Structure 1
Amino acid sequence: MGVCDAIRRITRVGKSTAMSAPHLPKVAGINPMVPVSAHTPAGSRSEAPTAPGTLVQDRLAGWVSDLTTLHELTERLARTSTLDDALHELLDAGATLVGARRGLVVFEPSDRRGPVSTVGLGLAHAELGHIETVPRSVTSCGRILEGLPGAEGAQTTPDLLGDTSLDPRRREVAARLGYAASYALPLTAQSTGRLGAAVWLYDEPTEPREQRRHLVGLYAGYAGEHLARLLELERARADTATLTEELLPSRLPRVTGVQLAARHRTTPRGGGNWYDALDLPEGALGLAVGSVNGSGPSALAAMGRLRAGLRAYAVMEGEDPVAVLSDLELLLRLTEPARSATALFAYCEPAHRKILLAGAGHNPPLVIGDRRTEFVETSLSAPLGMLACWEAPSVEITLAPGETVLFYTDGLLRRTGDSTDRAFARLHSAAAGVPKALRDDAGSIADHVLRTVLADSSDPGERTQELSVLAARFD
């Protein structure tokens, strides 16, 4: 919105003859840090005659101040990246513009697909609960949310306690919580329609002046479009999380002599990290972790195909991990010729605590026990899809009773500016520092390692890296 356009819109708020009036009330600018009270009636004092040029300058100065404040508030809103942060910012900015101290916003998209949220300003959780006991059809906010006739625009209630035509329950709650007036606005967007409603509460009977109503209306229009964009992102994240959850194991198998635990974290866009554990013939157990390069729905689809393919190959020839990964490499080349992936597959014999494993460009597993914490020595190998024909030797290890093998993806190691050696040293230190009291539980070991490694990062983006961890403790 250009400054000139905004000035023309603000000009239409007042009477067209206001500029020629002999004694105009000055329209003051709004300080975004100190809310301007809307309680003082206008025109209560006479002013000394002022030159027409001074009146024009004062009026323009007020408009520029209002536009500057509006710009600053919308810039602050634009910097929010989650619905919750945006709703809190909306409430704060609206309170500044209309001169209120308290308020609430109910986010409830009209398509009923969610998410639904209620955020308060200066109201405790219990106070919000009291307000929700008032029937929706008799409150300004509720009428907007229900789409009732006459509730398409702003809803002003200047005297909640003195207006006997209002619902008794509404007046009772207002008296109990100590507010005497309200001003409500619908939150809408062109692409989604009604998203919710915001209401600001005053301690005394009053209503915002017309200039304030105009400014908060402009702000609410921008806020609605911003909330619509965040809603789309939020729903995309939820859909991605649901799809990822469906593509990963719904439960881990119960195998005598082995305790399993898995942890998985995904990014908002979704990615190709995965883990798996499956029963194999003759009491054996197959364990796998892997990562498909890329992110988004295509990476999720590729991950699902690889995991399904590996399960089939593991059942047919799981006792030979090299053959399993060779078949998986062929599958990747045929279905995703432009994509690469890393994978590790382990064939376990729980009765003998023996593991035969092979890896394709993947990180070596980590053995954690009372007497040792060390990485398994595996040979270097290329990721799947990188060579015309993949092959690498397998490695056999034997565990002592009570030892745990930790399989993990690259997300556990990645740090901006960190060397590979430092990343592995940090992981080794976290595993070696698992308290003895936690070493009897695979889930506790995985949680401790995750918590310790991720706590070292000062970058929130790195703490939300996609990763998979699979822990197997052998009795």
Structure 2
Amino acid sequence: MLDIPSRVRVHVERLLAAQNDMGVCDAFEQYAPVGKPDTMNAPHPPKVAGIDSTVPSPAHTVAPAPAAPDAPTAPSATGPGTAPGAVLQDRLAGWVSDLTTLHELTERLARTDSLDSALKETLHAGAALVGARRGLLVLEPGDGLGPDTTIGLGLGRADLGHIETVPRSSLPYGRILDGLPGGDGEIAQPDLFAEDGLDPRHREVAARLGYAASYALPLSPEGAGRLGAAVWLYDEPAEPVERQRHLVGLYARYAAEHLARLVEVERTRACMATIAEELLPSRLPRVAGVQLAARHRTGPRGGGDWYDALPLPDAALGLAVGSVTGSGPSAIAAMGRLRASLRAYAVMEGEDPVAVLSDLELLLRLTEPARSATALFAYVEPALRKITLAGAGHSPPLVIGERRTEFVETSLSAPLGMLACWEAPSVELTAAPGETVLLYTDGLLQRTGDPVDRAFARLHAAAAGVPRALRTDPGALADHILRTVLPNRLDEADDTEDVVLLAARFE
């Protein structure tokens, strides 16, 4: 085998040579001009990674022809200590190193599972390949369906704002995304300030931000229109060499395909989140004596958690939370049907929560026998601060007040659709003035990652520790509990579990 430096440790067959326009064999021919060797004396390169040893020997390995007796002696091309083929080995090692770097960068990009992280990784890897320190990536799908965003590397929001004040047609990403002349491929501006036709505003912004050259590439998936454009900025006049352009071009083609898949995923998530939000109440009713607030966090695939609050006859109020098994569009659709049915039953017989859930269970068992759900319905009489509730496999409500923070003791019951006939007794409680009753779904507990008992303890501690100033606002109270139970923005993270909180504060 060739004596490739030990820092290049990679199985060549795993490299991305198949994705390159120039493989290792082509590197032999380009970087080692072929001469006519002496078949007896010329050394032959051994086989490496499937390279045939019959490849003609490069010129620098050819045995020298006998010189004329009176001819001057030319200096040796290789030093006294240089082994034959060393230059070839160095060049091959360089190509293996480049391909290894490209392989590692594409692997890192493939591990990104969100559009935002993929955009940042694409911009950072491209900067490393072209030798730039700063840059920006503009995502603007050509179909106009979004999402549209701009991210920067080494550029703050104010810097990006300055760049956006430059006429779009004079910026390289503008020419690429708008299909202007010269925007079909790479755009290199090795010395911005030496260009005669540079827009005055562009010259001013470049001087303000301290960049003197740029290199831009389109991000275009195979068989699709423009997805976006990446621009890398140099502090001094410069441009990438041919080798760097080749590598970053290969990387950009792979990145465009990966970003296109994540764009579709992001669109699907946004669509399901919109549908789920539209199936939930657009606003909560205003009822004398009760303040209401709700918080809803949807998982990336869309879940079946829901809540409802509706005015009922005799100045009463109905509160409900629930969760349908499964995720995705089917769970969202089932959630919408279940919530609509519960509203109808609540209007007809809301004063009896057990009857409401019994009818809901019968409907679920007859129409969707393969699905189950948990639910909790509360019939509220604000004037008396009286609550009558029943639950089906659901977590107990939490009463939060100045003198007590405790879970409501509800009877143990199975989820809807699990038994041939569901039945459970109702529970009555009276809230004191200023107390808040919190209804929630199991997702709040499951997102903690703790065992059930520890998750309940965490929720109780968060509720007991709500500052006094926040207790008068059910929305602020719900936000505090979310941040405390799910710290480090876990409530906003992409999780398979939905989270619903419905808070009712009694005056």
TM-score by length of 2: 0.83
Correspondence 1:83-122 to 2 at 5 A:
83-122=115-154
Q: Is the 8 A contact 1:10 1:214 kept in 2?
A: no
TM-aligned CA deviation for residue 425 of structure 1? 2.1
Match of 1:127 in 2: 159
Q: Which residue of 2 aligns with 1:74?
A: 106
Tell me the equivalent position of 2:345.
Answer: 313
Could you tell me which amino acid in structure 2 is paired with residue 217 of structure 1?
A: G
**8 Å contact from structure 2 (residues 17, 23) kept in 1:** no
**Aligned residue in 1 for 2:275:** 243
Counting only pairs closer than 5 Å after superposition, residues 72-471 of structure 1 correspond to structure 2 as 72-190=104-222, 192-414=224-446, 418-455=450-487, 465-471=497-503
Cα deviation code 1:348-381 (max 9, x no counterpart): 1111111111111111111111222222121111
Write the deviation string for residues 208-263 of structure 1: whole angstroms up to 9, x where unpaired. 11111000000001111111111111111111111111011111110001111111
CA distance in 2, matches of 1:6, 1:381: 59
Judge conservation of contact 2:20–2:250 (CA < 8 Å) in 1: no
Structure 1 window deviating more from structure 2 (128-137 vs 456-465): it is 456-465
Q: Secondary structure at the match of 1:194?
A: coil
Compare 454-463 and 279-288 and name the one that shifted more. 454-463
1:156-204 Cα offsets, whole Å, 9 max, x none, are 1222111214334333433333322211100011264211111112222
Q: CA deviation at 1:461?
A: 6.1
Change in CA separation of 1:254 and 1:217 when aligned onto 2, cut-off 3 Å: same
Distance (Å, rounded) in 2 between the aligned partners of 1:14 and 1:140: 32
The Cα offsets for residues 19-72 of structure 1, whole Å up to 9 and x where unpaired, read as 1279xxxxxxxxxxxxxxxxxxxxxxx995366622221111011000011111
- Shift of residue 9 of structure 1? 1.6
Q: Per-residue CA shift, 1:133-166, capped at 9, x if unaligned?
A: 2222222221101012332111112221112143
- Change in CA separation of 1:130 and 1:422 when aligned onto 2, cut-off 3 Å: closer
Q: Kindly indicate whether the alpha-carbon contact (under 8 Å) linking 2:448 and 2:486 is maintained by their aligned counterparts in 1.
A: no
> RMSD value over aligned CA atoms?
2.6
More off after superposition, 456-465 vs 183-192? 456-465
Aligned partner of residue 469 in structure 1, secondary structure: strand
Given that 1:260 and 1:472 are in contact with CA atoms closer than 8 Å, whether structure 2 keeps it comes out as yes
Q: Which moved more, 1:360-369 or 1:48-57?
A: 48-57
Residues 284-293 or 145-154, more deviating: 145-154
Query: In the alignment, what sits opposite 1:28?
Result: none
Which of 5, 16, 20 matches 2:33? 20
| C-alpha distance in structure 2 between counterparts of 1:402 and 1:153, whole Å | 65
**Mind listing any 5+ residue stretches in structure 1 that lack a counterpart?**
23-45
Is the Cα contact below 8 Å between 2:300 and 2:494 reproduced in 1? Answer: no
Distance 1:106 1:457, change over 3 A: closer
Q: Which moved more, 1:61-70 or 1:362-371?
A: 362-371
Corresponding residue for 1:33?
A: none
Code of the aligned partner of 2:504: A
Aligned partners of 1:227, 1:306: CA distance in 2, in Å? 37
Distance 1:462 1:422 in 2: 22
**Counterpart of 2:445 in structure 1: which amino acid?**
L
Partners in 2 of 1:456 and 1:11 — Cα distance?
Answer: 48
The Cα shift of 1:207 comes to 1.8
CA distance in 2, matches of 1:313, 1:433: 37
Q: Deviations over 1:259-300 (max 9, x none)?
A: 111111110111111111000011011011111111111110
* 2:28 and 2:92 in contact (8 A); partners too: no
Counterpart code for 1:351: A
Cα deviation for residue 8 of structure 1 reads 5.9
Residue of structure 2 in register with 1:61 after alignment: 93
Bigger radius of gyration: 2
Change in Cα spacing, 1:425 to 1:51, as seen in structure 2 (3 Å) is closer
For residue 9 of structure 1, what is the aligned residue in structure 2?
Answer: 22
Inter-CA distance 86–8: structure 2 relative to 1 (3 Å threshold): closer
Secondary structure of the structure 2 residue equivalent to 1:211: helix
Instruction: Tell me if structure 1 keeps the 8 A contact 2:478–2:501.
Output: yes
Residues 264 and 466 of structure 1 are in contact (CA less than 8 Å); yes or no, is this contact kept in structure 2?
yes
Q: Take 1:12 and 1:138, find their aligned partners in 2: how far apart are those partners?
A: 41
Q: Could you tell me how far apart the structure 2 residues matched to 1:89 and 1:316 are? A: 56
Paired positions, count: 452
Name whichever of 235-244 and 444-453 sits farther off: 444-453
CA contact (8 A) 1:292 1:303 kept: yes
Per-residue CA deviation, residues 428-459 of structure 1 (Å, 9 max, x unaligned), is: 22222222222222112222222221129989
- How much identity, in percent, do the aligned residues show? 73
- Matched residue of 2:379: which SS? strand
Q: TM-score, normalised by structure 1?
A: 0.89
Asked if structure 1 preserves the Cα contact closer than 8 Å seen for 2:324 and 2:334, the reply is yes
Task: Report deviation, 1:116.
Answer: 1.2
Contact 1:269 1:296 in 2 (8 A): yes
Worse overlay, 58-67 or 101-110: 101-110
Q: Partners of 2:372 and 2:471 in 1: how far apart?
A: 35
Measure, in 2, the Cα distance between the counterparts of 1:15 and 1:214.
17
Change over 3 Å in CA distance of 1:188–1:4 after alignment to 2: closer
Partners of 2:214 and 2:234 within 8 A in 1: yes
Q: Partner amino acid for 2:385?
A: R
**Displacement of 1:329:** 0.6
TM-superposed CA distance for 1:390, in Å, is 1.0
Tell me which moved more, 396-405 or 306-315: 396-405
